[in-house]
Amino acid sequence: MLVRLPRWLTLVLAVAGGLLADAGFPDIGIWLATLAGVALLFIATVRDSPAWNFFVGTVWGLSFFLVHIRWAQYAVGDVPWVALSAAEALFVGASMLAWTYVRRIAVVGRHASLQALTFALVFVAGELARSAVPFGGFPWGRVAFSQSESPIGRLAWLGGMPLVSLVAVVAAALLAIAVLALGRLNLFRAGGCALAAAAAVGVGLVVPLATQAESGTLQVGAVQGNVATPGLDAFNHRREVLNNHVTGTYALLDEVAQGDLDIVLWPENGTDIDPQVDADAATLIDDAAAAVGAPILVGSQEFPPSGGRYNVSLLWEPGVGVVDRYAKQHPAPFAEYIPIRDLVRPFSSAVDLVTNDMIAGTEVGIIELDSPRLGRMVTIGDVICFEVAYDALVQQSVAAGAEMLVVPTNNASFGPTNESTQQLAMSRLRAIETGRTTIQISTVGVSAVIAPNGVLLDRTGLFTAEQMISSVALRTSLTPAVRAGEWPARVVLVAAGALTLAGMITSLRDRRAARAVPPVTRRAKAAPRSAPARRG
């Protein structure tokens, strides 16, 4: 498999691969481009040097993340954007270092299928590692999140995001091996790998994705209130944002009669004024809920006496007030709270924009809605904003009984970037993974209603004031992915770790064996054979 490409060419391939991989994500959204970008990474790391391939992988990662999370630059500035991109890129570099050792295992080096599978295992293990550490991890940019419109994305139903990423990277590696074989005019190997890659892409088409209601339907209204100005200053006028969502709630009555809706959904930060302590905010929300004749799931903030704050979803019942609550379990580090503040401040004064650190909630993300029309309690899964990127939080919500999913989010700080549509792609894959209708509702967009098979049923614009009304199919069956929970990720991590260790042991044994051969013998083995004497 090894090819002696010039170092400069491997770097060119790495940069091109990272940029191409990003093109598979929204807003460009050509999912095959991500596979091509990962294939270029495979080709760029063909040199047999762990240190060099670590560097090449890091370059690929930088090329990808600097573009992919450009919205971080818009929101918090250059230094945090570059620092986060560099930190994430190092995980790609570490994966490629591991891959260099893994392919030294003899059986791996001899079989294209094993090369593709083991490359995918170490690559996805790197994704899983950076999704967990440091500070709880940052899953943005996983290959799976580029596949919301591809056949591979349907595999989320079977094995969640780890399986989607794994199959996508296997397909990418097979494409790369086909290209390398074609360069050596090995048409049989090239054709076989290309066909195998096509099979990997298409295998998701056999996955059954049901969408029918299993426990009735829920009539849902969702309000995208909008803000006056995008960016970090969007919520300086808190009363205005609250009023926008109140106004949007009354606007639902242009399409439905009072009492037609079972619940109204507001986004994260629909009001930053806690209606539990502010009488005016409470009156505005209660009057709006009474007008539509339905409880409102209000995105708000809580400020406990002990300090800090919670990011909460409050189920507000008209005439009663808060009847259920969910507090965000995974606040975003360096955005909603600042770890190691004193160490970070010299590099960016933006840390002081967060003056009150967010506290993590401790309860699973579910809201219990008493539905008079259905005559029972309906369990709604609630994952706030970036929590949609974390596998366990979503799966735990559904395993706890969620019959639909709500993703309240606030994208105002990211302005006109593609952060909101990247998040929407995640929500679509979560719908497939869990078999649940999913509603992403944002302060400014993009908001959407997503069927359990990932199909968009309704969608709003960005920085618009809009409302959505939907009859939501409630479902109770658990998909294989939810039943498996974290096991697919564990299998990938253990397999990648074992392969890396085996590769390092193989490499060490080979070096010891080479040193054991006397220099004269090594030279004799390396010397070319002399031409045979001519007869007669």
Q: Is 268 tagged catalytic?
A: yes
Q: Are 104 and 510 in contact (CB under 8 A)?
A: yes
Q: How far apart are CA 94 and CA 117, in angstroms?
A: 17
3-state secondary structure of 229: coil
Q: Are 356 and 274 in contact (CB under 8 A)?
A: no
Contact 376, 408 (CB under 8 A): no
327 bridge partner residues: 312
Helix (H) or strand (E) holding 222: strand 217-224
The length of the chain in residues reads 536
Which amino acid makes up residue 221? G
Asked, as a colleague might, if the bond just before 260 is cis with ω within 30 of 0, I would say no
Helix H or strand E segment including 242? helix 238-251
Amino acid in the structure at residue 372: P
In which element (H, E) is residue 325 found? strand 321-327
Catalytic residue among 88, 193, 328, 387: 328
328 is catalytic: yes
Distance of CA 73 to the CA centre of its chain: 19
Whether 525 is a known active-site residue: answer no
| Nearest CA among 94, 93, 87, 97 for reference residue 133 | 87
Of the candidates 88, 127, 268, 419, the residue annotated as catalytic is 268
Return the active site residues: 268, 328, 385
